[in-house]
Amino acid sequence: ERLIKTFELRADAAVHPLVRSLLGIVTSKRSNLCVSADVSSCTELLTLAQQVGPHICLLKTHVDTLPDFSDSVAQQLRSVAQQHNFLLFEDSKFVDIGATVARQWERRGAWADIVTVVPIAGDGLLTAIAQAALDNSKKGVILVAEMSSDGALRSAEYQEMCRAAAKRFPHLVMGFVSQSSISQSPWLLQLSPGVSVSASGDALGQRYVSPECSVGERGADVIIVGRGVTTSSDPAAAAANYQQLAYSAYLERVKR
């Protein structure tokens, strides 16, 4: 059901206001591309955000890999995001007891619109984030349900845990990071990394499929592309290419 519904219809069905906002951005910019800004400094991060801004719906970060990340950088990033109309997505992969995640979220999650969580520890960490976020309608969580890399856990029981957690926290959880369809619920999103037009993997176990395969066959709503864009000599042009391929694949999918 999720796969054949248009983003417009799914925005209407959305439970989480941020799902509605994100799908609004996706349809107005005609972009279901998330660029993963895996760079080495905040200067590079801000430059990349400006370059790819017009072509993305989401910018994904790992701020723990940036030695110079600060509140001021977060603020500057926020203003670039506002200027180009995209949301900020910190790939925090929180996984711990609630009390610890509450502290981690303050430090490296609170600045972003959306964070990732690995929901193997029970409900404590989702409760902690729901409590810490002063306004839940402005913060979202994406559950890591299935990873792109070689040898990653593919467990029906774990996927069921992810679906159940999404059900228990409908005002916090926006969807999943996965390589296949975890849920048919049209109000939940599938974000998929491991996408490249040129490579089939890297030397450390990453596995890639094309944008067409990710969206058309594996059910991604939004593709996540890192090095396919960041290592290009023209990141804006590379992003524009992924944007076009992913959005066409989505249009094809809902036509069927």
Per CB under 6 A, does 224 bind ligand 5BU?
yes
Per CB under 6 A, does 119 bind ligand 5BU?
no
Q: How far apart are CA 193 and CA 211, in angstroms?
A: 10
- The two structure tokens encoding residue 225: 């592309």
H-helix or E-strand containing 224? strand 222-225
Q: How far apart are CA 57 and CA 39, in angstroms?
A: 19
Taking CB under 6 A as the criterion, the residue among 48, 63, 102, 177 binding ligand 5BU is: 177
Helix 98-108 vs helix 124-132: crossing angle, to nearest 10: 40
Positions at the binding site = 38, 60, 148, 206, 226-227
Count of residues engaged in binding ligand 5BU, rule: CB under 6 A: 16
Taking CB under 6 A as the criterion, the residue among 193, 211, 216, 235 binding ligand 5BU is: 193
Per CB under 6 A, does 147 bind ligand 5BU?
yes
Give the shortest CB-223-to-ligand 5BU separation in angstroms.
9
Per CB under 6 A, does 33 bind ligand 5BU?
no
Sketch the per residue contact string, 50 through 69, with ligand 5BU: x for CB under 6 A, - otherwise. ------------x-------
Per CB under 6 A, does 109 bind ligand 5BU?
no
Please give the positions annotated as active site: 91, 93, 96
How far is CA 106 from its chain centroid? 19
Q: How far apart are CA 45 and CA 61, in angstroms?
A: 9
Torsions phi, psi of 23, nearest 5?
A: -65, -30
Per CB under 6 A, does 211 bind ligand 5BU?
no
Q: Which is nearer to ligand 5BU, 11 or 220 (CB)?
A: 220
Taking CB under 6 A as the criterion, the residue among 112, 225, 238, 239 binding ligand 5BU is: 225
The sign one gets for the Cα dihedral 202, 206, 211, 213 is positive
- Give residue 152's identity as a one-letter amino acid code: A
Strand partners, 17: none
Residues in the site for ligand 5BU, rule: CB under 6 A? 36, 38, 62, 91, 144, 147-148, 177, 193-194, 206, 224-228
